[in-house]
């Protein structure tokens, strides 16, 4: 291999998007499925694999199907308690098997999960985006800043602690949850940290991914992965609380995927994939980012920090400070 060939190879990164459905509200079975696809991604040569928002143990589809805004409803309380039982407690080691799989396959992972946060008392739920490096180490846990619409009936607002980027040579990778990707300042905070590979995770919906994926790519002059989940009526397990009520109001397809990848020029690398459970794989070339940054770099030579600046508060929010 000559110097030019080696240089070209050093600019490349192979990534995967696992567009899958959860075994809804079953943490252990869904985690088994996630580990399976992480292993497949490693076998396919991926250095990164991304999964959809709230995939582990699942998105709270029941809220809009069961009159979720009814106050003090026994139905809502029972389903929410079940959701808590199957949520992720990172301190308890619930993600340890996935960390081991990442290390064995030498593949980094972005995973959307529902976190039952011990540092907030252990009884509130957060929509979190977890980054596990290729050594199997959890490097960041980003709690969604603002749950969207009915999500606020079950998820708590997060903070900026996990708004971090990570080296994934030759790229710098960061990510946001769902409609956070519409928040200009959240995006700008990642751009300013050197992000050039952006992971946007979604519960699933091509109506979400088809426009914004290419928009963020053009705005940031970066590669953008939109990782979306699937959810079909058949994906509700038989033991789901109040299943008959949920199914009575459920469409056949609740989340149709839409996972895709756009390049730094805003053109498709992988067009949106709809309605199919599969591992999408693509190889990206960092040289294209450097080419597109020649005429626009939103945090670099095309920024005016003397005129506008952004402050990012990465303090992990808590109601308690202990002094001993």
- Annotated catalytic residues are 53, 144, 178
Tokens of 267: 């053109």
Tokens of 117: 């946060």
Contact 30, 23 (CB under 8 A): yes
| 125 closest CA partner among 153, 94, 149, 164 | 153
Contact 257, 276 (CB under 8 A): yes
Strand-pairing partners, residue 262, are: 224, 268
**In b/e form, how buried is each residue of 113-128, taking b as 16+ CB within 10 angstroms?**
bbbbbeebeeeebbbb
Strand-pairing partners, residue 284, are: 13
Q: Which residue has the tokens 């040579």?
A: 169
Strands (E), the chain: 12-19, 48-50, 108-116, 125-132, 138-143, 166-168, 171-177, 197-202, 223-228, 230-232, 253-262, 268-274, 278-285
Q: Rounded distance, CA 90 to CA 192, Å? A: 28
Q: Rounded distance, CA 313 to CA 252, Å? A: 42
Q: Rounded distance, CA 79 to CA 309, Å? A: 43
Distances in whole angstroms, Cα of residue 152 to Cα of each of 56, 142, 248: 18, 17, 23
Tokens of 16: 């995967």
């Amino acid at each position: 291999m000559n110097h030019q060939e080696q240089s070209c190879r050093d600019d490349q990164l192979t990534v995967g998007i696992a567009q899958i459905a959860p075994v809804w509200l079953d943490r252990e079975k869904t985690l088994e499925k996630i580990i399976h696809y992480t292993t497949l991604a490693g076998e396919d040569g991926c250095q990164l694999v991304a999964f959809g928002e709230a995939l582990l143990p699942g998105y709270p589809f029941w809220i809009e199907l069961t009159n979720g805004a009814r106050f003090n409803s026994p139905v809502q309380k029972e389903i929410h308690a079940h959701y808590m039982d199957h949520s992720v407690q990172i301190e308890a080691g619930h993600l340890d098997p996935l960390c081991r799989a990442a290390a064995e396959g030498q593949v980094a992972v972005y995973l959307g999960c529902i976190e039952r946060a011990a540092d907030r008392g252990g009884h509130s739920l957060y929509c979190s985006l977890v980054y596990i490096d290729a050594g199997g180490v959890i490097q960041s846990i980003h709690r969604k800043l603002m749950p969207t619409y009915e999500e606020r009936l079950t998820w708590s607002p997060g903070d900026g602690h996990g708004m971090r980027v990570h080296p994934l040579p030759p790229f710098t990778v960061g990510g946001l949850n769902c409609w956070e990707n519409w928040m200009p300042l959240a995006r700008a905070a990642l751009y300013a940290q050197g992000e050039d590979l952006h992971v946007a995770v979604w519960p699933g919906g091509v109506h979400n991914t088809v426009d914004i994926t290419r928009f963020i790519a053009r705005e940031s002059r970066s590669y953008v992965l939109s990782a979306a989940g699937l959810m079909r009526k058949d994906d509700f397990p038989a033991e789901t609380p109040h299943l008959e009520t949920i199914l009575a109001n459920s469409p056949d397809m609740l989340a149709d995927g839409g996972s895709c990848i756009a390049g730094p020029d805003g053109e498709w690398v992988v067009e949106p994939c709809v309605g199919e459970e599969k591992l999408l794989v693509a190889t990206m070339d960092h040289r294209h980012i450097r080419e597109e940054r020649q005429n626009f770099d939103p945090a670099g030579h095309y920024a005016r920090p003397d005129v506008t600046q952004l402050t990012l508060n990465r303090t992990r929010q808590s109601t308690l400070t202990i002094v001993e």
